Amino acid sequence: MATTATAMAMATTSTAAHVVPALFSFLQQRLRLRPKARISTFHRLLLPVSRFSTRDGSASYQEEDEEGEAEDSAEAAFGDEVGEDEDDEKPQPEEVSSTEFQFAAPPEGYIEPASFDELPPESPEDVAAAYESLYGPAFSGESLMGNNVFEVKVVDPVDMDRDQRPNDEFSERVVQVSRVTKVVKGGRQLSYRALVVVGDMKGHVGVGVGKAKEVSEAITKAAMNGRRNLVTVPLTKYCTFPHRAEANYGAAKVMLRPACPGSGVTAGGAVRVVLEMAGVENALGKQLRSKNPLNNARATVKATQMMRQFSDVAAERGLPMEELWK
């Protein structure tokens, strides 16, 4: 039994020894005959190559590397030849000499203008005339107020004296001058607030407020502020209101009513001052709530803006003025 088992084991070992080399040789042939995958004609796809042993047991990569280098060199040479052929076939532009190009002849009577350096210097009048020819008379330097914008000097109202104030048709009337205090960390800062009504006695009036360290400066600021806030008061031919109106401003409420000729202005406080500066000669006015001069003055201006002339109402209704009272 032992002899038979030993003989069978030796037979199996000898058979396996002959089969293994034959299997490796078959795999070696299959790997060499397999084609190599490529992405393009100029780049190869690098794939892992299985390492196999030759008959003598050493690894062989040299043959495949040599084959790859030969193919790359052939492809590069082919690409250079194609590029040279394309450059030779591209059409080249023809050179044009400067002597062959000629400008068009100028029209008859054409006079070449002088250079910029040879022209005489332009005066401000010439510049203004050129701007007017291009953009119209708005650039002539004359404003809507009739003042030359190049000569008017802007002066701060604080720095103005009584002689330097605007010389226009508006007159001023001081309604109130009060002392106000501002409490800061270092103590109290005293200043003055002035309430001034400005008007031309022709239907234009404005209420202005100004604050400053001095009384005169506060009045000047208030007058300038009043000129910036002018409104138009609707008046009839009898210098009275076209109809009655009421208005509120803050806690103040003012009532205005027209009056017959010869009645005069029957009102008090700031309401009377505003009506007189607007040119109202016959009217009734009353302060119904607060007696604050500033709020009552502004409430009076607000009430006058709520009034409308008979001609405006007739135009909105599309009727003649004679039919408004029918």
d(CA 54, CA 28): 8
Report the run of H or E that residue 121 belongs to, with start and end: none
Q: Is position 287 within any domain?
A: yes
The SS3 assignment for 65 reads helix
| Residue 265 structural domain | 245-316
Note whether residue 38 is domain-resident. no
Q: Are residues 293 and 255 in the same domain?
A: yes
Q: How far apart are CA 69 and CA 67, in angstroms?
A: 6
The number of folded domains in the chain is 3
Q: Does the pLDDT value for residue 65 go beyond 70?
A: no
**φ and ψ at residue 164, rounded to 5 degrees:** -95, 0
245: which 2 tokens?
A: 């109106």
Structure tokens at 211: 């604050």
Indicate the pTM of the whole model.
0.51
Which of 230, 253, 275 corresponds to the end of one domain? 230
CA 121 – CA 112 distance, rounded (Å): 19
Angle, helices 270-278 vs 293-305, to 10°: value is: 40
**Other beta carbons within 10 Å of 23:** 9
> pLDDT band at residue 133, thresholds of 50, 70 and 90?
confident
In a domain, 205, yes or no: yes
Looking at residues 119-123, what average pLDDT do you find?
Answer: 79
The CATH number that applies at residue 180 is 3.30.160.20
Question: Are 174 and 185 a contacting pair, CB within 8 Å?
Answer: no
Edge-first strand order for the sheet with 204-212 is 171-184, 187-199, 204-212, 230-232
Q: What CATH number has the domain bearing residue 281? A: 3.30.230.10
pLDDT tens profile 158-171: 455 555 556 678 89
In this structure, are 249 and 301 located in the same domain?
A: yes
Question: Under DSSP, is residue 281 helix (H, G, I), strand (E, B) or coil?
Answer: coil
Single residue among 206, 230, 254 that ends a domain in this structure? 230
Alpha helices in the chain (DSSP H): 2-33, 62-89, 124-135, 215-228, 270-278, 293-305, 310-317
Confidence band for 134, pLDDT divided at 50, 70 and 90: confident
Q: Which of 230, 258, 274 is the last residue of a domain?
A: 230
175 burial via Cβ count (<10 Å: 0-12, 13-18, 19+): buried
Say how many CA atoms lie within 13 Å of 88 toward its Cβ.
6
The pLDDT assigned to 211 comes to 94
